[in-house]
Structure 1
């Protein structure tokens, strides 16, 4: 059993902190409109969220009418994590949803990225993908019923287990900006180039 000393401010000593602020800026899905996104931070068992929201949902936004055809959310992200071990580094999972022609709420794309391991500002362009039906019969059935293939829990994307049997196709992209700050990272022999 590992014993942790408490510092004067009530935080456990022997831990490092990773703080991230930023925003889910925009999406590029030229063939779709009126979309919103959900996000979730997923991390390993040695990690704990200290402040901020672990998941959230944005407003619905319309596609711009210019040649760029962007959906702009500028949805804020703000979270701080602590850990004793870099294994299970936090990941950001984004799910984009919109309405189909029948008015059903369907997934337009999933994407995942690790939080940057170097401090400072970074911009990530996350390629999105959607699950595909595995047979023609399932494709027709999903189109008729309005129930497209989707993940029951998008957190599955943060793990490698079972993903090799999932059929997907690329569809759209999401741009995220992140500012990352580290505290006490180097005191425990970890080097991240910052």
Structure 2
């Protein structure tokens, strides 16, 4: 692969740090990556699930996971840049696992360390009758395939409600993107400016 100059690498290292769901006492998070057709995973796991966590009442009632994420992609172009899909689940009063939130975000484009606080949401029943049926059968609305959240089609017809947050941290490294003509450095790094006073002194 080192001799292939037509691809670039995206290395993602980080962790699912914590979650905030004030209404619940136990949560676990699942994650998966969605990416374009030109992207290939060269190492790491495409999906995973954290341990179950209970609220840390000492630290503002957060759920602490510190669950590692480590994956490397290769691609020929940035179209279909990877996204990470999150889904949180927890038991209800009957002990049945229920969806507690879904979220999605793109992997950061710029190399370096990043932190993201993802707003989570849950789908809602489309009518009071369906809501009653769901309560009687102990089945809440959920996404059959959460990867569809990475696409915009049909999302406007789904009723959702905001519920909780999940915090992620990323360490991003890219390789050979500039060789293919892609510059993902911040503008202030790619084109550093000299403060006006220093320029006058010079």
Whole-angstrom CA distance in 2 between matches of 1:47 and 1:7: 17
Q: Based on CA coordinates, which of the two structures has the bigger radius of gyration?
A: 2
Distance 1:76 1:7, change over 3 A: closer
Residue among 167, 171, 176 paired with 1:184? 176
Alignment partners' CA distance in 1, 2:115 and 2:184: 18
Question: Shift of the alpha carbon at 1:13?
Answer: 3.0
* Aligned equivalent of 1:137: 129
Residue among 101, 107, 114 paired with 1:109: 101
Indicate the residue corresponding to 1:51 in structure 2.
43
Residue matched to 1:174: 166
CA RMSD of aligned residues (A): 1.1
Matching residue of 1:76: 68
Deviation at 1:67? 6.2
**Which runs of no fewer than 5 residues in structure 2 stay unpaired?**
187-202
Length-normalised TM-score, structure 1: 0.93
Which ranges in structure 1 are unaligned for 5 or more consecutive residues? 1-5
Q: Distance in 2 between matches of 1:140 and 1:7?
A: 58
TM-score, L = length of structure 2: 0.89
SS at match of 1:102: coil
Q: Which has the higher helix share?
A: 2
> How many Å apart are 1:48 and its aligned residue?
0.7
Structure-2 residue corresponding to 1:93 = 85
CA–CA separation in structure 2 for the residues paired with 1:7 and 1:175: 34
| Number of residue pairs the alignment of both structures matches | 186
Give a deviation string over 1:97-141, Cα, whole Å, max 9, x none: 000111110000000000000000000000000000000000111
> Which residue is equivalent to 1:3?
none
- Give runs of ≥4 in structure 1 deviating > 2 Å: none
- What is the SS of the residue equivalent to 2:9? strand
- Tell me how far apart the structure 1 counterparts of residues 69 and 59 of structure 2 sit (CA, whole Å): 28
Tell me the SS of whatever aligns to 1:161.
coil
1:13 maps to 2:5: yes
